[in-house]
Amino acid sequence: MTIAPACPLPLMQHETVQMAHGAGGRLSQTLMQRVFMPHLHNSFLDLLDDQAKLELPAGRTAFTTDTYVVSPVFFPGGNIGELAVNGTVNDLAVGGAIPLYLSTGFVLEEGFSLVALETIVMSMASAAQNAGVIIVTGDTKVVGKGQCDSIFINTSGIGTIREGVNLSCCNLKKGDCIILSGTVGDHGMAIMTSREGLSFQSHITSDCAALNGMIGKVLDAVPMIHAMRDPTRGGVAATLNELAHSSSVGIEINETSIPVKPDVRGACELLGIDPLHVANEGKLVLVVPADCSETVLNVMRAHEHGRDAVIIGSVVNDHPGMVVMRTVFGSRRIVDLPLGEQLPRIC
Amino acid sequence: MKYIDEYRDPLLARNLLEEIKRKATRHWTIMEICGGQTHSIIRNGIDQLLPDSIELVHGPGCPVCVTPLESIERALLIAAKKDVIFTSFGDMLRVPGCSKDLFMVRSEGGDVRIVFSPLDALQIARDNPLKEIVFFAVGFETTAPANAMAVYQAAREGIENFSVIVSQVMVPPAMCAILSSPDNRVQGFLAAGHVCAIMGYEEYEPVAREFNVPIVPTGFEPVDLLAGILKTLELLEEGRSEVVNLYRRVVSREGNRFAQETIRKVFEVRDRQWRGIGLIPGSGLGLRPDFSRFDAEKKFNVTHICASESPQCKSGSVLQGILKPDACPAFARECTPEHPLGATMVSSEGACAAYYNYHRNAYSL
Amino acid sequence: MCLAIPGKLFEIFDENGLKMGTVDVNGAKTRACLEYVPDIQIGQYTIIHAGFALKIIDEEEAAESLKLWQELIESGAFQPDDDLSSADSL
């Protein structure tokens, strides 16, 4: 049996999520028909089964999951829904997979605006369409006021790994180039400066984007790339440290080559935060053999998400497990893992 | 960025370094008082670039590091109370008390919020009239005007659900304490530019004369610091115990008199405990009697709380420039940023944290 | 101890009886209390600490010291074409 999608009529103002929306009864159905299905419907979801039945292409399968809890839920450049789709798509793509299917689970706080929820669902639908993935199954729970912060979203994703591609954090070799796809810190500073209480009237925009399109083009051109990561939480510093640690090699980067947008830099200076420690949601770190680096850069720069791609450093034999930055003054310092949450500081 | 990038010019920095190398005829020990300057020196690797003859020792100018353990303990107690919204600069949240920090209080249900300005804390008080809003007013002279204004404005508007834990400290008495110590090795000072932006540098002139040391107020960017080191070195080589202001774009001799006036209206000079160092007479600020109703320690009746430090932590010696962080037996062993024994391992300005983050295994670089 | 960053004032307003302003820090805009710099004009640079403008930056003094330093560069050991990032030149 299929249910024809209901007309996406605008929801009434002031309408909010009720406990009954998650109780499986009539209100749950209303929520499905009025908020979720109009935007997400497809041949899998339309069946309203408890599971999606998938046919996967031959080859190895990649499978990943991530849970999104961002506050504020709406931020300049995106919202939690877009983030939940793009983040999981990127987690598949950096493993060399072609992302195919996503699942999504919502935890909604009682009292959360249904208009806001619908906006988030619409963003998920368009993000999925842009990334070429299908949301095939989902679930919604409602918790009492104060038991979660507005809305949490989990997405899991499945993709098929490309033939002949072997990306791993353990693959780094001396002499490899480290390539960064663009400016650092945009997402984290967009979130931080849009939080209440920090006196910002800023318009720093999140870089939230699906990277599978660009990654596909890069891997078509250069399948022998050694490693790829999306530098989300902990920023580029955390990603580079993980790569150096996993491969037991050193990484050396140049301070002058790290691209930072002017307003992001301004906000980082003001709050005393290192842009290398700030989260990104649409950036890519690649480790490539030096002789392929020009080709990779050219492919990336031709893509909208890689226009500012640049070589930021290289893999070295010295100081295994450590990332070292060469400063503009010729001195060197350790680029360490950030310690937990980035806090604005006055000193 | 205007007024930043000019002072990060590598060419200028290298030429200043050459001048420093050329002019240093013997070993000199210079202390940068301010933790912000320590952070910048280590982050930019300036200490690696200096000739061996110039030894930089790192001073106690980190309010987070010197806020006494008992203030932290009192803050933790107040923050844990129902109906309290505890507000603080981000810096203080990871500072360890005896067994907890503010993050842990938050995880146990305390309403702990980070603010960028003390006025943001006051706004939270306006918005939540049924809650008690407490602000952790830490800082040196630089932050005193901001903290004073929050209290002054609360009084003016009659915002009675607002109070502060004051941990305000001042530089000149700490300098005198360091110079009076029998273990003192410091021969010249870089004075903290932003403290001097408020207070001016007049008050350093008697210190320079009495203790026969040159004092050079300077900024925080690499070129400012190198120029400050060069000037201190020149004064040392010439045997001149003077105050020479190298942060002229921000610092004047008299400082900011509007800010000083508000500080004086709200605060009075007190003796003050410095974490790891001990009592320094006349080195702190407390609320004047007119404003004592905004004293959170009295309001919440926690003035009796006392606490003592881990005996393993040598932060007192580090803060006085007697011990380098990596010479402490606990450094990077029992004491790390994840499990700090003392505040100097927590604050991004803390000398121990700066060494840990940027310098650890420096020999292998 | 005190992170204070230069920014350019582009708006002045009153809030709860306090003189406040919006300051542009390299494109990031933040609010600051201007009570301690009552003479500040729009377009001037000030340094911001904990949401307060501490001091108007003295442009003449800044230009003066940069001029002195420029002379140092001109007579200095390192010239603009030198490779400064190399450790060998240390």
Distance of alpha carbon A287 from alpha carbon A316, whole angstroms: 12
Q: Count structural domains, chain B.
A: 3
- Which A positions 246-305 lie with beta carbon below 8 A of chain B? 262, 265-266, 269, 271-272
What CATH number is given to the structural domain containing A25? 3.30.1330.10
A316: exposed, middle or buried (Cβ count in 10 Å: 0-12, 13-18, 19+): middle
What CATH number is given to the structural domain containing C23? 2.30.30.140
- Residue-range definition of the domain harbouring residue C42: 5-78
Residue C25 lies in a domain: yes
Distance of alpha carbon B263 from alpha carbon B152, whole angstroms: 9
Q: Which of A144, A161, A178 is the last residue of a domain?
A: A161
Residue A281 lies in a domain: yes
Residue A269 lies in a domain: yes
Residue in B91, B124, B338 nearest the CB of A345: B91
Q: Which of A161, A182, A209 is the last residue of a domain?
A: A161
Residue A143 lies in a domain: yes
Among A144-153, A201-210, B162-171, the range scoring the smallest mean pLDDT is A201-210
Give C49's contacts in chain B (Cβ within 8 Å): 142-143, 146, 194
In this complex, the chains that touch C, judged by 3 or more CB pairs closer than 8 A, are A, B
Predicted ipTM of the assembly: 0.91
Residue B197 lies in a domain: yes
What burial letters (b/e) apply to A125-143, b meaning 16+ CB within 10 Å?
bebbebbebbbbbbebebe
Give C83's contacts in chain B (Cβ within 8 Å): none
Q: What digits encode the pLDDT tens for the residues A29-76?
A: 889 999 999 999 999 999 988 999 999 999 999 999 999 999 999 999
Residue C33 lies in a domain: yes
Q: What digits encode the pLDDT tens for the residues B90-126?
A: 989 988 888 899 999 999 999 999 999 999 999 999 9
More confident residue, B311 or B192: B192
The alpha carbon torsion through C27, C30, C32, C38 (nearest 10 deg) reads 30
- Whether A312 contacts chain C with CB within 8 A: no
Residues B260 and B154 in one domain: yes
Q: Which of B209, B237, B265 is the last residue of a domain?
A: B237
CB contact under 8 A, C28 and A267: yes
Residues A182 and A101 in one domain: no
Residue B245 lies in a domain: no
Residues A126 and A175 in one domain: no
Residue B361 banded pLDDT, cuts 50, 70, 90: low
pLDDT score of C86 = 53
Residue A343 lies in a domain: no
φ and ψ of A29, to 5 deg: -65, -40
Three-state secondary structure readout of chain B: CCCCHHHHCHHHHHHHHHHHHHHCCCCEEEEEEEHHHHHHHHHCCHHHHCCCCEEEEEEEECHHHHCCHHHHHHHHHHHCCCCEEEEECHHHHHCCCCCCCHHHHHHCCCEEEECCCHHHHHHHHHHCCCCEEEEEEEECCCCHHHHHHHHHHHHHHCCCCEEEEEEEECHHHHHHHHHHCCCCCCCEEEEEHHHHHHHCCHHHHHHHHHHCCCEEEECCCHHHHHHHHHHHHHHHHCCCCCECCCCCCCCCCCCCHHHHHHHHHHEEEEEEEECCCEEEEEEEEEECHHHHHHEHHHHCCCCCCCCCCCCCCCHHHHHCCCCCHHHCCCECCCECCCCCCCHHHCCCCCHHHHHHHHHCCHHHC
In this complex, the chains that touch A, judged by 3 or more CB pairs closer than 8 A, are B, C
What CATH number is given to the structural domain containing B20? 3.40.50.11750
pLDDT score of A85 = 98
Q: Count structural domains, chain C.
A: 1
- Residue-range definition of the domain harbouring residue B341: 315-358
Residues A323 and A207 in one domain: yes
Residue in C25, C35, C47 nearest the CB of B250: C47
What burial letters (b/e) apply to A243-275, b meaning 16+ CB within 10 Å?
bbbebebbbbbbbeebbbbebbbbbbbbbbbbb
pLDDT score of A22 = 87
pLDDT score of A125 = 98
Q: Count structural domains, chain A.
A: 2
Residue B309 lies in a domain: no
